[in-house]
Structure 1
């Protein structure tokens, strides 16, 4: 085991052993194994066929992780270490401080609360997509829960029995940050009214300027919950193809640009019966994704590159392979398609839980299917599952570099 991981784990275990002097302390160790089958179509597969080695996604991997959380007085910390082994590359290790902040307040329970430092802040009501996660901007629909890293911030909050508000100055020392790393002010207000939870959001970023949003969740009956979230952005940072790029291009033919006037909408609901069988349905619209016309131009460029490659001399093949690989930059926006439908069926019985879900793109028929089973004990939790990317040959999801992925994970908490 590499020295960095060994020292990180030794530090975490040593800190956990001294936990009796802390107000709160917990340690999690997780091992996760994955086995993937690469796709046979799409830009990375085409690039790899032209020049072997362009597709560097792992077929097999083993990830070992450790996370230690502690609180002592006003100080809160989360330390993280990982070791990753992949079949196509050397092993790598890293350690990070995921959270480190001071928290406290003035005026007792009815007064102001503050947090200063690196902290995780998660907002909004959705499951598969969250338009108003204005601070954390966490990745959704991961196979197993992520050990996310917080952002540097100053947060002021106020809570009462029915209302709350939170003001966050995030990334205060990042004047050149982009996307989630952009310096910004974000505001969240909350009102509880009977069966309704109402949320309002606003954000003012250095580059992306202003955005406003609103969300609600309501318990409509003992079995039914409904939720919705919407956001309007003055500007958004998105990936778009350079229409003037040469074919083939000598540099990445994509650029991050400011999209003016984007909008995002989520509608969803959850039905749960007495036997703990639960059905979640969500639809979302995301104008930051590539449009139908954008994807048509993307397919046309990819087809022309493939045609050039069929008759290109050997000296030109590396450049064509690179251009095909660059086509995968189109997958980098917040959503693959503007219209998306998600459904998840889950069942819990005792320590066991089963789940199956599908993400469907109605614009081209692409879909991502996932099935999983999990067991939860006092200290141990086990999970295994399979994810499958499919759809018509010209659908965007079918062009992704992975076709199938099986995974298993084990977590020990103490």
Structure 2
């Protein structure tokens, strides 16, 4: 049995196990420590497109409705998280698609066909055993075995220590992140926790881009986590067949009741990235880039009213620099100007130039689009509305939690601004229903990387619940 078949078999077995548990009678479930927690989400999204030098002309706007149903299953020492993810329950493109290569096309385009997929996000066993010897007396060893998310990162906007799989931070729509295959042994002593692990990040059932496929790795490592007073720290060393060696660490320090400092950094011996060609007639290619370094520094401030502010800076050497992005924008723009067929004989050259310019969009697939990033985050706890006389008179506003993120690229003055307004509609303790309005705007200086993303802004209405 090859590796892909083994992963598919694991997913199928996981689905069958969870379906069997779901069909367990209630009386049997109560006697067998079976727990079920259901989550669901419906997301209606409207996206406004822009003319980008990297992407062929798109409709002016598109509207979609997606859905997600998840069940978290606990059975004795087993834990699982399975998702049913549906896309394009409703889909419509509006506006015109125009370019120098075709006539203007107006009216609405046909809807895309709905699709659905079952995803085993996590399925793992946790247990342990005792090991006794004269030097250590009796030592209990925790064991984790299966598919699980390892989330060691420190930070809000970016987490350098998410080294097994880079998880997307603060999405506005539906995302179903998957774990990796893990075998981990952990022990505790007076200094903290020590973990020895093996991981395989290829345990995924969702479609991947070329960078994600080539970055799939198998490796072994060691991690130590500890606390000293008001400080917590961790360090790790990891070796896999892609990066060929990685070290990293983080620290979180509580300065006082209002302030907290956090930071993390990683260094890897090898990295993958997209290389800009030396000629305009060659595409951007994925290649080994040598060593790489990522670091993050952040401050968190909170007060008794309910305000929370996070300010972070991070650097990622794997991302394109501002000069590389300027080269990519200039080259793609010139290729699009050349791609102007006057006769049928030039159609082949036009297609080649279009493909060449589109290859530069692969820079958007990196973990960070730009090297230098600054993020400002603000949120207000819903309990804060009780502090003011005017808001105490408005019942519904006391269930609203506003959040705002501002991501700034200091090298090219690009901006991504995101806001969330979450309204807690129902909360009975055992069930909840939230209504969320989210909006993300991608803008900045005209030659910035963020201002050349194919999406100009997106507005989402999310309905999510738990039972």
How much has 1:298 moved relative to structure 2? 1.0
Equivalent residue for 2:291? Answer: 261
- Of 403, 407, 414, which residue of structure 2 is paired with 1:366? 414
> 2:340–2:350: 8 Å Cα contact kept in structure 1?
no
Equivalent residue for 1:150? Answer: 179
- Of 70, 81, 86, which residue of structure 1 is paired with 2:84? 81
> 2:266–2:293: 8 Å Cα contact kept in structure 1?
yes
- Cα-to-partner distance string for 1:89-130 (whole Å, 9 max, x where unaligned): 211111121111121011399611111111111112111111
3-state SS in 1 of match to 2:327: helix
Change beyond 3 A, Cα 1:333–1:56? farther
Equivalent residue for 1:338? Answer: 371
* 1:13-52 alignment runs, 5 A limit: 14-15=22-23, 18=26, 20=30, 21-44=32-55, 47-48=56-57
Aligned length: 392
Give distance in 2, aligned partners of 1:138 and 1:180: 13
Give distance in 2, aligned partners of 1:113 and 1:293: 49
Give distance in 2, aligned partners of 1:392 and 1:332: 21
> 2:166–2:367: 8 Å Cα contact kept in structure 1?
no
Give distance in 1, aligned partners of 2:24 and 2:300: 39
Equivalent residue for 1:229? Answer: 264
Equivalent residue for 1:141? Answer: 170
Change beyond 3 A, Cα 1:192–1:100? same
- Cα-to-partner distance string for 1:37-96 (whole Å, 9 max, x where unaligned): 00133321xx22xxxxxx489711111111111111222211111111132521111112
List runs of 5+ in structure 1 lacking aligned partners: 1-6, 49-54
List runs of 5+ in structure 2 lacking aligned partners: 1-14, 93-110, 132-137, 204-211, 384-398
Change beyond 3 A, Cα 1:110–1:58? farther
How much has 1:300 moved relative to structure 2? 2.7
Give distance in 2, aligned partners of 1:13 and 1:380: 25
Give distance in 1, aligned partners of 2:141 and 2:326: 52
Equivalent residue for 2:446? Answer: 393
How much has 1:257 moved relative to structure 2? 1.5
3-state SS in 1 of match to 2:270: strand
- Of 288, 292, 297, which residue of structure 1 is paired with 2:327? 297
3-state SS in 1 of match to 2:291: strand
Change beyond 3 A, Cα 1:161–1:272? farther
- Of 158, 163, 175, which residue of structure 2 is paired with 1:129? 158
Query: For the pair shown, which has the larger CA radius of gyration, 1 or 2?
Result: 2
> 2:179–2:201: 8 Å Cα contact kept in structure 1?
no
3-state SS in 2 of match to 1:181: coil
- Of 110, 117, 139, which residue of structure 2 is paired with 1:94? 117
How much has 1:180 moved relative to structure 2? 4.9
Give distance in 1, aligned partners of 2:305 and 2:176: 31
> Does 1 or 2 have the higher relative contact order (CA < 8 Å, sep 6+)?
1
How much has 1:386 moved relative to structure 2? 0.7
Give distance in 2, aligned partners of 1:57 and 1:92: 24
3-state SS in 2 of match to 1:323: helix
Change beyond 3 A, Cα 1:274–1:179? farther
Equivalent residue for 2:127? Answer: 104
> 1:191–1:199: 8 Å Cα contact kept in structure 2?
yes
**Cα RMSD for the two superposed structures:** 2.7
359-368 or 15-24: which moved more? 15-24
- Cα-to-partner distance string for 1:168-207 (whole Å, 9 max, x where unaligned): 2111888xx9555211113321110001001102110112
